[in-house]
Each structure stands twice: as C-alpha cells, then as structure tokens.
Amino acid sequence: MSDQPTLQQIRDFKGTYPKQLFYLFGTEMWERFCFYGLRGMLVVFMATELMMPEKQANLQYGAIQAFVYAFTFLGGVFADKILGFQKSLFWGALLMIVGGFTIAAAPTELFYIGICFNIIGTGFFKPNISTMVGQLYHDGDARRDAGFGLFYMGINIGAFLGGLLMVWVGKSYSWRAAFALVGVVMIISLINFAFRRKTFGPIGLSPLHPDMPAARRKLYEWGTYIGSLAVVPLILLMVTNTQYTDLFMYIVGPLTLVYLAWEMRTFSRAENLKLGAALIFIFFSIFFWAFFEQSGGSLSLFALNNLRPSLLGIPVDTNSVNNAANSLFVIIFSALAGLLWLWLSKRKAEPNSVVKFGLGFLFLGAGFYIFKSTLGFADEQGVTSTEVFTFAWFVITFGELCLSPIGLSLMTKLSPLRIQGLMMGMWFLASAYGQYAAGLLGAGMSAEDPGASNYDKLVLYTDGYGELGLYALIAGGALILIAPLVRRMMQEVR
C-alpha cells in the first residue's frame, strides 16, 4: 500500500486540476455515453419496436428514468455505509455491462429485464463518482468549481457521443448492436478505473471500521451485492406497471427526508442551516429536470415525427440532433461560462449560486418558448424547422450551465463529509422526481386519439412547451427573490 498517495498528498496538488480528476473524467465519460445513449433511445425504441402509443411511451420513459435516479440515492447510502465509492463503482459498472448485453441478446423480449440491471448499476455508479471528485479538494479550495466544470465537460463528451451514435445505430443498423454498445463501452470505463485505482489512495475506500472482523465486513459487502440482485424482480414489476411507480415515488421521497432529519440531529446548527440551503437547491432542481428531461420523452417523439431531416441543408437524423445538440453546446461553451464567472468574480460582480440557479430557469423558460415557436415554421403535415428546434437547445444549454455543475459542487460543499454520498444521492433523487414528472407532463401533452394527425400532435406539444416556459420563468423569478435568505443559510459557502 506504500505506493498509494495519502489524502493530503492528493489535495496538495499543484496547478488547476489534480491528475485523479482526469481519471474520473475518463471513467464517467464512458458511463455517460451509455446513460445518455440509452435515454435517447428509450422512447423511440418503445414507440417503433414495442409499438407503444405515445402517451404510454412517455409514462414508461418517466418510470424508467425515475427509478434510475431513485436508485442513485440508495447507491449513495450503501457507498456511505458499507461499500465505499470505489467498490460501488465496480459493482455498478458490472451490472450495467450485464444489462446492456442482456437487452442485446433479445431486444424486444428481454428489454425490461436488461433495463432493471441498468437501473441498479447506474444507482451504484452515478452518485459516487461525483462525490469522489469533491473529495480531491481541501475544504474551501477555490479550484473545486473549476474541477467540477471540467468533470461536467467529460460527462457531456460522453453524452454527445452516446446521444449521437446509439439511436442512429438502432434506427439505421440494428437495435441489438445499439444495446450491445452499452456493455462494450462500460467495459472500457471499468478498465480505465481499474488501472488508475491506486492513485486515489484512501478516497472511496470502505467506510466500515478498520477493526471490524473480516468475516463481518464480507457479510455486509456480499449482503449488499446479493440484495441488489434480489430486488430485480421487484423493479421489473414496478417498471412495467406505472401505477407501482406512482406508489414508489409517493413513499421514497418522504422516507428520504425522514432519514435525513434523523442524520441532521447529530449536526450543529450551522451545519443544519447549510443542509437546509442544499434542500432548497434540491427542491427547485426537481422542476428544472421535469422540464429539461422532455428531451428523452416528448421531445424525442417530437424529433421523430415533427422535424425536417436536415440541418442547415445537411441531412441529419433528427433524434441524434435532439440527443446530442445540448451536449455539444455544453462542450463548446462550458469553458467560456467558467471564464465569464471568473471575469465577473475579479470585478466583484459574479452572481451567487442562488441567482445562478434562478438564471438557469430563465434560460430554460426562454428555450421552451422557442420550442413553442416552431409551430409557426410548420407545413400542413406538421413538419417544422430543425434549425429553430436546435436554437432552443442552444439557449437551454446556458440554463443548464448555470445550474447543473454548480449543483454537483454545492452538494459536496454544503454537506458534512460523512453524509456527502447521501446528499449527492438526494440531488439525483430530485432528478428522479423530475424524470417522473417529465413522463407525466409528456403524457399530458400527447394526443389522446392514436389516429391524431401529425399537425394536431404538433399543436398539442407546442402548447405544452409554452406552458412549461411560463412555469420556468416563474420559478426563476422566485429563486432570485429568495437569494438573500438562502445566501445567509449557506454562510461561508459561495
């Protein structure tokens, strides 16, 4: 173990970024390839291969995505209490590999079983790698936000490649090959992490007490592995019956808050005020993701049926445009956004994190009004401009850059160390509620009549996008109004 660095050595790095950040970047990039590739395929696959009506496909999408994010909360808890972040990553990656190859073996017959493995695998993988990024830094290290910004770029490189390629492979070549890509790419992610694992020193190792007997340690760890496999039939039941999804979502949120309240009793008033601020960010993020995640639901069907298959005169797959445009814009502009915040900071004019969250909603609202405006560019068949649609994603991207990377960083800065995995899990659990609501909203915008014309569907969707735009603007204004109160709760955290 002597060749492993200490925590102090890791955090005393020189320059802007620790080398371990690049290793996590590479590991997460490939996992995001799979996640966003799958997200972009789900509704299209269900509508074209499983022959689901659009309303049902939207609900099914919301259920699957909700469980993916809900299990990130559970994955965070088990990493905090038993496995540690490193073993959680390994276990999550292995389950995702199994899930991808299971669906590839028989896409229509084994789709839901493979999805269950992906849900559990993502739950163990996703929250813990973000927490490891936060632990590369000393408390108060001003370079932390820059680190999360770079890490977020890695997420979006993977999201861009997966969103662009996987749905295209499925539609143009073979759904079997598209789902197999999940297994192949996660093997790459796992190998990347395995070869770099020693460089993380004590970060992400088991939280169990060093004096715990080896037999009991093994019992806890193997109990977690076996238990996570044992719940596959239960998840299968809930994912395939959306009424069970409703019940699950009504229960898990309140129980999570009760558990957090139990943990909070051991913290100081100052720590609990910070946790209160974190909960405000988490609450508003539910609404942001409910609107933003129309991308994988209603906007996927919109792209499939209502967009011209050309962009600036170049033939394109419209679903690939919907899946990849946002990620491409994040890659291009995330560094510029960071430079803008730095420039404003030097002039003491940088908005605080709460105001940035509010600005995120204002950009989101503007983007959805642009989606609404596509009705004015449509022909009588209900086919409209891919250019205007893409411009909406350009605007929404700046909203995401104001909110998402800052949110990841804030969860690590506002949380006491021993519940950072829990709070990162709660951040993703808020996304679960957002995904769940996204499915309900998308279903609500879908035509009741399966025989509705393409133009009628366009009218329903664009009317719905206008309403979402209004609600986003209201939420943004509310956040900016309460910014002074939340800032006081955050204390020294910026």
Domains with residue ranges and CATH for the chain:
14-490 (1.20.1250.20)
pLDDT exceeds cutoff 90 at 476: yes
- Averaged over 342-369, what is the pLDDT? 86
- The chain-wide mean pLDDT, for the chain, equals 85
**Digit-coded pLDDT (tens) for 221-242:** 899 899 989 989 988 988 888 7
Please report which helix (H) or strand (E) contains residue 314, including its range.
strand 314-315
User: What six digits make up the tokens of 85?
Assistant: 């972040």
**Which residues on neighbouring strands pair with residue 314, listed in sequence order?**
311
User: What six digits make up the tokens of 252?
Assistant: 């898990």
User: What six digits make up the tokens of 374?
Assistant: 């596509």
Residue 310's φ and ψ, nearest 5 degrees, are -150, 145
**Digit-coded pLDDT (tens) for 347-359:** 877 777 888 889 9
**Is the pTM for the entire model greater than 0.85?**
no
pLDDT exceeds cutoff 90 at 178: yes
Residue type, 88: S
Residue identified by tokens 């943004």 is 476
- Averaged over 43-47, what is the pLDDT? 89
Count of all residues that appear for the chain in the document: 494
Q: Of 21, 15, 209, 130, which is closest to residue 428 (Cα–Cα)?
A: 130
CA distance linking residue 294 with residue 384, whole number of Å: 18
CA distance linking residue 412 with residue 420, whole number of Å: 6
**Digit-coded pLDDT (tens) for 405-414:** 677 678 778 8
pLDDT number for residue 208: 76
First to last CA, the chain: 37
Given its phi and psi angles, is residue 493 left (phi above 0), alpha (psi -120 to 50 degrees) or beta? beta
